[in-house]
A = this chain, B = another copy of it.
Amino acid sequence: MTFKRTNPLALAVLALLSERPMHPYEMAQTMRERHQEEVIKLNYGSLYTVVESLRGHELITASAVQKAGNRPERTVYAVTAAGTAELHDWLRDLIAVPAKEYPRFEAGISLVGLLPPADALELVQQREAAVGEQLAALAVLLEKLAGMGLPQLAWIELDYRMAVLRAERAWLAWFATATREGTVGGYDDWEDRHR
């Protein structure tokens, strides 16, 4: 059976091990330090599952079992040639091919007609504010990272996220206005249904 590219955490593991051998807990620490868990969901339970799966497919191997002091044993893993190939190929796919995803907001906004227009307006404005705060937080983070001397390429994904968030905020602002002024298509019917 060929390896299934479900959990992106496996991608992170391959990427980390392509730097140097590590044991799972160290991978988690490194991901934290580098703010990688912002982009790839990290969960201890999943980490060990994923590592074991990668080992099963011989994309990584247990290269050593250390025993420092009286701590629990820790297994250090290293990436194999097949693992490196998988990493690169997966990466290419992730970048070149847009995957079908299901953002939760799309699900929510598609049913917004079920709520009264006045409520909808308030909720959308709340989201607009929240997105604004996220943007501000990202700006601060970028400042910090740049101040540490990290090049733009090291936080390129944050750059991307900011671009998307700005678009979302703009759309929310438009929708709020259109709702407030009743210019969104189908508004009259919408209001009628809620009185």
Contact = CB atoms under 8 A, between A and B. Distances in A.
Interface of A: 8, 11-12, 15, 18, 36, 39-41, 87-88, 91-99, 101-115, 119-120, 123-124, 126-127, 130-131, 134, 151-154, 156-157, 159-161, 163-164, 166-168, 170-171, 175, 184-187, 189-190
A11 B40 CA distance: 26
Contacts of A112: 91, 95, 153, 156
Tell me the interface secondary structure of chain A in the complex. Answer: helix
B95 A124 contact: yes
Contacts of A164: 164, 167-168, 171
A187 B11 CA distance: 23
